[in-house]
Structure 1
Amino acid sequence: MKTTGQIVYDAIVDLHNQEQIVTRKVLCEVTGLKMTIIDDHVSRLCDEERIRRVENGVFVPSDVPPPARSISVTQIVGGLTRIEIGDECLDLWPREARALASLLAGFANQFAMIQAGNEIGQLVMQQQNTLKTVRRELAAVMAKVDPPPQLDLLASTHQD
C-alpha cells in the first residue's frame, strides 16, 4: 500500500510526464486528498529536494530528463526506414518498422490526448472569459433599467 506522500509524488511525476502543469489544486483533484495534506507533502518533498517549485504554486520533479533530441524518420528506396535521434541512426526493414510502430502506438495516442486536453482547456478558458464579460454587461444593463421588470408569466397568461 502506498503512503500518501508517495501518492502525491507519483501524481506530480505522472502529471509532469504528461506535460501537465502541476499545482496544489490539480493534485487535490487527481489524488482526492485534502489541500492541507497536499500542502504538507509538497512542503516535505521540496525540503527533501525530490520536487522543486518552478514558480509560486507550480511544481516539477527534481529529476527532469534532458530536453528532447531532434528526431527524423526517412523512407529509403528499397523499403528501409531510417530513424535518426540526435546523433544515433537506425535502419529498419519494413517488418521491424511495423513492430516498432505497434510498440510506440500508445505514446502516439497519449500525445494526441495531451494535445486534445490542452486545446479543450484553452477553449474552456475562452468560454469562461466570454461568459464573465456577458454577465458584467448584463448586470450593467439591468442596473440602468428603472424599475426592474417583473417577470410574472403566470399572471399575464392566465387572466380570466
Structure 2
Amino acid sequence: MRVTNKQMVLDAIIDLNNQEQSVTRETLSGVIDLPLAIIDEKLTSLINDGLIYRIQRGIYLPIVTHDQARIISKIVLPCGTVKIDIGDDVWTLTPKEARVVGSLMAADAMQYSNIEIGHHAALTTAKMDLQTKEMRREIRELQKLLPASNPA
C-alpha cells in the first residue's frame, strides 16, 4: 500500500514529537523527501482536518495525546526480587524477569539519554550564541574608542 504525502507528513510530525523535537516545516523537510511547498500544503490540510495544531508560528504538534504519565518507582529486595510501582499497579519480578524487562527498555533509555543530550546541547549553543553576540558588541564599542589608524 502506498503512503500518501499527507500521511507521511503526519507520521513524521508524530515521530518527531515523540522524540521531543520541535516540529517545523524545515525539520520535516530534513526528515522526509518532499519540497517545502508540498509540506506547507499538507500542514494546512492536517490543521484543517484537526490532526495537528500550530502551537506558535511555524511550530506544530500532533493532536494525538497520551494519558498523563504516572509515577514510577523501582525497589530491589535483598533476595533479588524487583518491585516496580507504576501508578496504582505493582509488578513483582524475578531477577531474570527484571533483566528481560531492562533489556527490552534499553532502547528507550538510550533514546531518553539522547533527547537529554540534545536539549543540553541546544541550551549550551544558545548560551554560546548570546556570549558571542555580547563579545562582538563589546568589540564594536572598543573599536569606536580607538583612534583611526593612518596609513603612512
What is the TM-score normalised by the length of structure 2?
Answer: 0.88
Tell me how large the CA RMSD over aligned residues is. 1.9
Q: Counterpart of 1:129 in structure 2: which amino acid?
A: L
1:54-104 alpha-carbon deviations (Å, 9 max, x no partner): 233221111111221111111123221011111111100001111111111
Write the letter of the residue equivalent to 1:23: T
Deviations 1:31-65 (A, max 9, x none): 35443322211111000111112233221111111
Structure 1 residue 18, shift from structure 2 partner: 0.8
The residue aligned with 2:48 is 47
Deviates more, 1:77-86 or 1:99-108: 77-86
Aligned to 1:85: 86
Taking structure 1 as reference, are residues 65 and 149 closer, same or farther at Cα in structure 2, changes over 3 Å only? farther
- Following superposition, the deviation at residue 137 of structure 1 comes to 1.9
Instruction: Tell which has more relative contact order, 1 or 2 (C-alpha 8 A, sep 6+).
Output: 2
For 1:147 and 1:13, how far apart are their aligned partners in 2?
57
User: Counterparts of 2:130 and 2:91 in 1: how far apart (Å)?
Assistant: 49
5-14 vs 109-118, which deviates more?
5-14
> TM-score, normalising length from structure 1?
0.84
SS of 1:135's partner is: helix
Amino acid at match of 2:78: V
* Structure 2: 5+ residue stretches without partners: none
CA deviation digits over 1:3-23, x for unaligned, max 9? Answer: 332222111101110112222
In the alignment, residue 16 of structure 2 is paired with which amino acid?
A: L
Q: 2:62 — aligned with what?
A: 61
Contact persistence 1:142–1:148 (CA under 8 A) = no
Size of the aligned set, in residue pairs, is: 150
Larger radius of gyration: 1
